[in-house]
Amino acid sequence: MTLTSGQFTALALLGVFHGIDPGMGWLFAVSFGLQERSRRALLRVLPFIGLGHEAAIAIMVAILTVTSSLFAAKAVVLVGGSILLAFGLWRLRGRRHVRWVGMRLSRWQLAGWSFIMSSAHGAGLMLVTVFAFSMNDQVSPLDLHHGVLRVLAVAVAAMAVHVGAMLLTCGAVALTVYELLGLRVLRTLWVNLDRVWAFALVGAGVATVLMV
Amino acid sequence: MALWKPDPTFYPSPRDAAAAPPEKLAYVAAFSRPATTPDAIAVLDTDPDSGEYGQVTGFTELPELGDELHHFGWNMCSSALCPYAPHPHTERRYLVVPGLRSSRLHILDVKEDPKAPKVVKVLGPEELAKHAGYSRPHTVHCGPEGLYVSCLGGADGAEGPGGVALVDHESFEVLGRWEVDRGGQYLAYDLWWHIAHDVAVTSEWATPSMIEDGVVPELLLGRKYGHQLHFWDLRRRRHTQTVDLGDQHQMVLELRPAHDPTRKYGFVGVVISVEDLSASVWLWHEDAAGGDGPWTATKVITIPAEPAPADSLPPLLQGFGAVPPLVTDIDLSVDDRFLYVSCWGTGELKQYDVSDPFHPRETGSVRIGGIAGQTPHPALPGEPLRGGPQMVEVSRDGRRVYVTNSLYGAWDEQFYPAGVGAWLAKLDTGTDGGITLDERFFPHGDAFRGRRVHQVRLQGGDASSDSYCYP
């Protein structure tokens, strides 16, 4: 598995998209800041939001890597794309909200919250498309020259780029809202990203399946 | 259908909500005491520029008889903006209207024509019984997990324990009983929370048999009605602490926590002390300053009974020669500055500045109705009024206050045996305190088509409908 600069850019852009969503963490970070009237409280929780997101992505990448080393890459991409498409369609019907109830979370609980939110929104699933590009022209997955370490390194780099972009965006939005804009902007600027997500998932699913 | 932009009636903070535009409509629970006609939600025009200002402009009857509408609430409110499970694109669109006597839950859609709410779903009492084990649904609050409906009675004829049922805020199915561990709570009444601290608070009135045929004097003098507050872990749904106000303080009713999510205090009204017939308002707060100390409650307002000649009193009170104030509802303005206290017995609405919650300062008082006073409304001078200010609702901007005059069917007759009538008054507030009756706004009598009036809900939200996650 190798990734081109275009794929890294795509991963970073998806990170920005995930970071902008209030439901992925920046809003929670702002609420910590406001509740304690402290910017430091806001900044302190950001890494834990990133950690949860990272874990959600890592699980998907791991599944992808393992399955693609066991099965034909085409099959993995086809199945992944189909799941993506189905998940997007299910989210388009979108009546169910993830319910995690509580404001007083410890930082590790916050990481758990972020993990659940990212998984439930299909954040990791969305990356399947990007990886699919790299697996299409794959040589034998069991080719020892490629080596486990190399695959691992690429995967870690990919996740770092994605989560780095996500966290930077998340932090920038949180600080801007906390310091400058105030939460009143929620009333006008908060478009229904759940629906955008659903469309993105469907689009990514279709693109992935077509690629095979 | 989900919206693209957040519902415009959701506000992140109480400060933002206080800047909301004035309501144009109010919804009022109207119930038929003899249960010969269906109960209804009456719609009032509250737009001063409208030709119908102060009049009943809509009237939606429920499908069946004998519900006894009491309190009700919205399917969604500002808590939808809370960061842990945001769903701001669901609409505040449905009124959730329990029948306190019938145990039915009605869902009314106000979107298409806000002046003509449409009944879109009715849940029979068996739904509440089967899924949650409760009956006599009372207060409805929109919250983090859906709708929280506090119920006074148990299911299948059981007196108790009462408790809280969870209802889905979109499908309106009863999801189940909210409590995982109810501790020592048995009597139920109100429920609200400190949403940013994962703390819920509940209060105590009575079981169904203690109220449905009227207040039972022996039980009251025997101090059997509720006199405790309960604190809960809102997230884990567990009872954490009981605070006993003392069993002389009978009937601990409306809970009004500070709207500012950084503050951890609230007010609760007590109807009557059996020692001297006084009423009181208590402040709950943490024992240890600043920390997560145990909860405690401090009496911050005492309102004494007023002596009256026996011939002006109903049989229930003649032996006492005095009118108890009967504080049956209180309401806290969204900016947490003013507390309104209804004295249903003496016929008085009091306003207190509670900027310092430990030391309320009376800043306004209006007399209207009352057991002995029967003070007329200025719009109808010379006409003695029965009933008194009871349910009190404050607009989001804190400039208008609405009061209705019925307490509860069977109890109205005991305290106002000549008939309680039906009226709703509106008061205007001064920016630094003071309340005056609006002479242009006094729907009464036939305007409500033979029904009595109870809770008022304002279009888009009011001081007792929404909770906020951000300061």
**Structural domain boundaries in chain B:** 14-458
In whole angstroms, give the CA distance from residue B252 to residue B286: 19
Dihedrals φ, ψ of B174, to 5°? -75, 120
Put simply, whether B176 touches A (Cβ < 8 Å) is: no
Put simply, whether A185 touches B (Cβ < 8 Å) is: no
Lowest-confidence region among A73-87, A92-106, B367-381, B403-417: A92-106
Q: Do B84 and A102 touch (CB under 8 A)?
A: yes
In whole angstroms, give the CA distance from residue B12 to residue A185: 9
Instruction: Identify the CA nearest to B81 among candidates B439, B467, B399, B359.
Output: B467
**Cα→Cα distances B156→A15, A90, B129, B133, B189, Å:** 54, 39, 7, 8, 19
Closest in A101, A186, A191 to B85, CB measured: A101
For B407, the token pair is 């307490």
Instruction: Identify the CA nearest to B380 among candidates B420, B452, B437.
Output: B437
In whole angstroms, give the CA distance from residue B438 to residue A83: 62
Closest in B4, B12, B84 to A103, CB measured: B84
Cβ atoms of A101 and B200 within 8 Å: the answer is: no
Q: Do A184 and B16 touch (CB under 8 A)?
A: yes
In whole angstroms, give the CA distance from residue B323 to residue B314: 10
Cβ atoms of A105 and B144 within 8 Å: the answer is: no
Neighbours of B23 (CB within 10 A): 22
Q: Residue B112's pLDDT is what? A: 95
Put simply, whether B198 touches A (Cβ < 8 Å) is: yes
Task: Report chain B's mean pLDDT, rounded to a whole number.
Answer: 96
Instruction: Give the pLDDT band (50/70/90) at residue A135.
Output: low
pLDDT in tens, B384-398: 999 999 999 999 999
Put simply, whether B13 touches A (Cβ < 8 Å) is: yes
**Average pLDDT, integer, range A79-85:** 83
Lowest-confidence region among A67-76, B136-145, B414-423: A67-76
Which residue does chain B place closest to A96, by CA atoms? B170
* Residue A144 clears pLDDT 60, i.e. is over it: no
Which residue does chain A place closest to B263, by CA atoms? A35
DSSP structure class, residue B101: T
Q: Residue B20's pLDDT is what? A: 95
Neighbours of B66 (CB within 10 A): 16
HSE at residue B78, side-chain half, CA atoms within 13 A, is 34
User: A65 by DSSP, 3-state: which?
Assistant: helix
**Cα→Cα distances A65→A122, A207, B111, Å:** 18, 20, 50
Closest in A31, A97, A192 to B470, CB measured: A31
Closest in B2, B170, B198 to A104, CB measured: B198
Q: Residue A125's pLDDT is what? A: 82
**Average pLDDT, integer, range B31-54:** 97
Q: How many domains does chain A have?
A: 1
For B359, the token pair is 């030391």
* Residue A142 clears pLDDT 70, i.e. is over it: no
In whole angstroms, give the CA distance from residue A147 to residue B339: 71
Cβ atoms of B451 and B436 within 8 Å: the answer is: no
Strand-pair category, B105-109 with B348-353? unpaired
pLDDT in tens, A25-46: 999 999 999 999 999 999 999 9
Q: Do B12 and A101 touch (CB under 8 A)?
A: no
Q: Quick one: B113 exposed, middle or buried, by C-beta within 10 A (0-12, 13-18, 19+)? A: exposed
How far B262 CA lies from chain A's nearest CA (Å)? 6
Cβ atoms of A1 and A146 within 8 Å: the answer is: yes
In whole angstroms, give the CA distance from residue B44 to residue B212: 29
In whole angstroms, give the CA distance from residue A199 to residue A47: 28
Q: Residue B16's pLDDT is what? A: 96
**Average pLDDT, integer, range A83-105:** 77
Instruction: Identify the CA nearest to B74 among candidates B91, B89, B96.
Output: B96
Put simply, whether B89 touches A (Cβ < 8 Å) is: yes
Q: Do A191 and B4 touch (CB under 8 A)?
A: yes
| ipTM (interface pTM) | 0.85
How far B348 CA lies from chain A's nearest CA (Å)? 38
Chain A residue numbers touching B2 (CB-CB < 8 A) = 94, 192, 194-195
Q: Residue A1's pLDDT is what? A: 59
Put simply, whether B173 touches A (Cβ < 8 Å) is: no
In whole angstroms, give the CA distance from residue B388 to residue B345: 7
Cβ atoms of B97 and B75 within 8 Å: the answer is: no
Q: Do A192 and B84 touch (CB under 8 A)?
A: no
Handedness of CA B301, B430, B384, B423 (dihedral sign): negative
**Average pLDDT, integer, range A143-151:** 64
How far A141 CA lies from chain B's nearest CA (Å)? 41
Put simply, whether A20 touches B (Cβ < 8 Å) is: no
* Residue A133 clears pLDDT 70, i.e. is over it: no
Put simply, whether B431 touches A (Cβ < 8 Å) is: no
Chain A contacts in chain B segment 151-170 (CB below 8 A): 170
* Residue B401 clears pLDDT 70, i.e. is over it: yes
* Residue A179 clears pLDDT 80, i.e. is over it: yes
Instruction: Identify the CA nearest to B125 among candidates B153, B146, B147.
Output: B153
Task: Report chain A's mean pLDDT, rounded to a whole number.
Answer: 83
pLDDT in tens, B299-340: 999 999 999 999 999 999 999 999 999 999 999 999 999 999
* Residue A145 clears pLDDT 60, i.e. is over it: no
B434: Cβ contacts below 8 Å, ≥ 6 apart = B351, B363, B364
pLDDT greater at residue A75 or residue B189: B189
Q: Do A191 and B469 touch (CB under 8 A)?
A: no
**Cα→Cα distances A165→A19, A122, B394, Å:** 8, 17, 46
- The model carries a pTM of 0.93
Chain A residue numbers touching B13 (CB-CB < 8 A) = 183
Q: Residue B292's pLDDT is what? A: 65
Chain A residue numbers touching B88 (CB-CB < 8 A) = 186, 190
How far separated are the first and last CA of chain A, in Å rounded? 16
Q: Which of B84, B169, B170 to mutate to test the interface with A (most CBs of A within 10 A)?
A: B84
Put simply, whether B88 touches A (Cβ < 8 Å) is: yes
A182: Cβ contacts below 8 Å, ≥ 6 apart = none
Percent helix / strand / coil, chain A, rounded to 5:
80, 0, 20
Biggest CA-to-CA distance, chain B: 63
Beta bridge partners of B97: B106
**Average pLDDT, integer, range B35-64:** 97
Instruction: Identify the CA nearest to B269 among candidates B257, B279, B258.
Output: B279
Cβ atoms of B420 and B387 within 8 Å: the answer is: yes
Q: Do A101 and B144 touch (CB under 8 A)?
A: yes
Put simply, whether B81 touches A (Cβ < 8 Å) is: yes
Instruction: Give the pLDDT band (50/70/90) at residue A140.
Output: very low
Put simply, whether A116 touches B (Cβ < 8 Å) is: no
Its domain, for residue A108, covers: 5-211
Q: Residue A153's pLDDT is what? A: 84
**Cα→Cα distances A186→A27, B9, B21, Å:** 10, 12, 18
**Cα→Cα distances B431→B189, B335, B364, B399, Å:** 33, 12, 12, 8
Put simply, whether B471 touches A (Cβ < 8 Å) is: yes
CATH says B14-458 is which class? Answer: mainly beta
Q: Residue A96's pLDDT is what? A: 61
How far separated are the first and last CA of chain B, in Å rounded? 30
Chain A residue numbers touching B171 (CB-CB < 8 A) = 95
pLDDT in tens, B66-123: 999 999 999 999 999 999 888 888 999 999 999 999 999 999 999 999 999 999 999 9
Could you identify the residue written with the tokens 């945001």?
B86
Q: Residue A194's pLDDT is what? A: 79
Q: Do B83 and A192 touch (CB under 8 A)?
A: no
How far A102 CA lies from chain B's nearest CA (Å)? 5
Q: Which of A21, A31, A49, A196 to mutate to test the interface with B (most CBs of B within 10 A)?
A: A31
Instruction: Give the pLDDT band (50/70/90) at residue A73.
Output: confident
Chain B residue numbers touching A113 (CB-CB < 8 A) = 84
Angle, vertex CA B407, rays to CA B402 and CA B413, nearest 5: 135
Chain A residue numbers touching B87 (CB-CB < 8 A) = 97
Chain A residue numbers touching B469 (CB-CB < 8 A) = 31, 103
**Average pLDDT, integer, range B170-191:** 96
Q: What percent of chain A has pLDDT over 70?
A: 88
Neighbours of B258 (CB within 10 A): 18
pLDDT in tens, B238-270: 999 999 999 999 999 999 999 999 999 999 999
Chain A residue numbers touching B196 (CB-CB < 8 A) = 31, 35, 103-104
In whole angstroms, give the CA distance from residue B179 to residue B336: 29
Cβ atoms of B183 and B222 within 8 Å: the answer is: no
pLDDT in tens, B424-445: 999 999 999 999 999 999 999 9
In whole angstroms, give the CA distance from residue A46 to residue B230: 35
Q: Residue A201's pLDDT is what? A: 84
Query: What is chain A's length?
Result: 212
Q: Do B235 and A104 touch (CB under 8 A)?
A: yes
**Average pLDDT, integer, range B352-375:** 98
**Cα→Cα distances A94→B1, B85, B121, B460, Å:** 10, 14, 21, 25
Closest in A27, A101, A192 to B2, CB measured: A192
Query: How many interchain CB pairs under 8 A, A with B?
Result: 91
Instruction: Give the pLDDT band (50/70/90) at residue B291.
Output: low
Dihedrals φ, ψ of A196, to 5°? -60, -45
